[in-house]
Structure 1
């Protein structure tokens, strides 16, 4: 990354600043504040983790863009609640019976397979096939875990807040469909990673000094 342009080097900072502004705007007057908190805790955790670890490991700009997709979509879902995001143009266009914005959000979760594979590859911690499989399986495990959290919150909170956070919209296969979308997003991200050309970083040893 030594030959990067100044804009490319500053890209993660600009992207982080843009997201922080967007998140702040969307934090104002959400549809349901208790659901907003439940949806935004993981957003804040992921964003702060990326900021805190930036100096330890800087991902590629493409990885940051992919990770930002979920942050943005989940922020929108937290503001409106996923079932009520203004997504009618897509629903009407394809004749869907439910609001599928949550499916798009789950699909974007799969994009985190890219930075997982990138980290393992650049740090030379795993062979390519292992990096790909670990990225895929990590997302699949995360998807299953998140569905359990959704179920737990819905049962605990109860009422309208629990229903809105669960976001099943009457679909008995909602959890399975969400996990499939996570997995498809991961497959898409790993295909992008395959063509990204990212390789292990050269380690400078005593013999190379």
Structure 2
């Protein structure tokens, strides 16, 4: 039986493997690295499992791997300590904004969710888009709860490092906002691509 997997998936996985190995070498905190890397590896496994029967578009694969790479880099340094000064200085921020960018990239998963529903004829475009948006928003809220739970359980510097709030009492709400903005961005991209594709077909 011929493989249904995209060559892009193989290339992206190979590149991610390099990032994974890099992150595993002397991370800032081995405990935080383990806690952070588990969801990344889990998501990668789900991507490959779904790809056994369904081939995402190249755009969807690229968007999904953006978060995997950023999250894995964050797991090495802890998100508050990732060397990201060039970006922080660019936007005039004294706070390390790497975690905000990583949360934004989580929202990009709205694209493959909506794409899957549309291509599988499980929902029309409108419903698929709203479902994908709400799915990301729900995931964002759920992750913040899990993050708080682990930080409270671990306690001390390890808990603070995992939480990565950097003293911002509104950190969880801002993270969820970034997740939502990422989802909206990816869904706008999907709509534009769908319209362009439909226009080409009509011609």
TM-score, normalisation: structure 2: 0.91
Moved more, 174-183 or 21-30: 21-30
Moved more, 89-98 or 127-136: 89-98
| Partner of residue 136, structure 1 | 133
Q: Secondary structure at the match of 1:29?
A: coil
Counterpart contact for 2:19–2:73, Cα < 8 Å: no
Q: 1:13 to 1:155 in 2, by over 3 A?
A: same
TM-score, length of structure 1 as denominator length: 0.88
Q: Per-residue CA shift, 1:111-151, capped at 9, x if unaligned? A: 00000000000000011110000000000000000000110
Aligned to 1:95: 92
Q: CA RMSD in A?
A: 1.5
Deviation at 1:9? 4.4
The 1:93/1:9 distance shift into structure 2, 3 A limit, reads: closer
- The aligned residue for residue 200 of structure 2 is none
Number of the residue aligned with 2:150: 153
Match of 1:85 among 82, 86, 90: 82
Q: Distance in 2 between matches of 1:112 and 1:180?
A: 15
Match of 1:111 among 95, 108, 111: 108
With over 3 angstroms needed to count, the CA separation of the structure-2 counterparts of 1:9 and 1:41, relative to structure 1, is closer
Displacement after TM superposition at 1:178 (Å): 0.2
Q: How many residues align?
A: 192
Q: Aligned equivalents of 2:92 and 2:28: distance in 1? A: 26
Does the 8 A contact of 2:6 with 2:55 survive in 1?
Answer: no
Which runs of 4 or more aligned residues in structure 1 lie more than 3 Å from their structure 2 counterparts after TM superposition? none
Q: Does 2:64 correspond to 1:76?
A: no
Alpha-carbon distance in structure 1 between the residues aligned to 2:176 and 2:106: 10
Matched, 1:65 2:62: yes
Match of 1:192 among 189, 194, 199: 189
